[in-house]
């Protein structure tokens, strides 16, 4: 049986822009540690305010570019 996980593609978006995590943290006011957790998909929650700041700074119109559902085997 598959399990659904919410995956953040922030790492790829930053790479496309040629930005470091530090730059995004400075532009959004989000702690660099929080940005790092999002990049590594280690955070347990995605606060709405943080997501809104990120999509505005990165000029994202489709939340699917930032977040996606990934299917994994429940046995893993």
C-alpha span between 74 and 3 (Å, rounded): 5
Query: pLDDT for 18-64, tens place per residue?
Result: 999 999 999 999 999 999 999 999 988 889 999 999 999 999 999 99
The pLDDT assigned to 44 comes to: 85
How do beta strands 2-8 and 67-73 pair? antiparallel
The angle at the Cα of 33, spanning 76 to 23, to the nearest 5 degrees, equals: 115
**CATH number of the domain to which 29 belongs:** 1.10.260.40
Cα–Cα distances in Å, from 71 out to 15, 34, 48, 63, 68?
Answer: 24, 24, 23, 18, 10
Domain holding 40, by residue range, is 2-73
Kindly report the pTM of this predicted structure.
Answer: 0.86
Residues forming a β-bridge with 69: 6
pLDDT reported for residue 1: 77
The total domain count for the chain is 1
């Amino acid at each position: 049986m598959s399990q659904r996980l919410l995956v953040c593609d922030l790492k790829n978006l930053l790479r496309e822009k040629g930005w470091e995590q530090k730059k995004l943290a400075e532009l959004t006011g989000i702690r660099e540690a929080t940005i790092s957790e999002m990049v590594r998909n280690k955070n347990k929650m995605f606060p709405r305010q943080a997501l809104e700041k990120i999509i505005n700074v990165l000029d994202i119109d489709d939340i699917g570019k930032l977040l996606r559902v990934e299917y994994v085997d429940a046995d893993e």
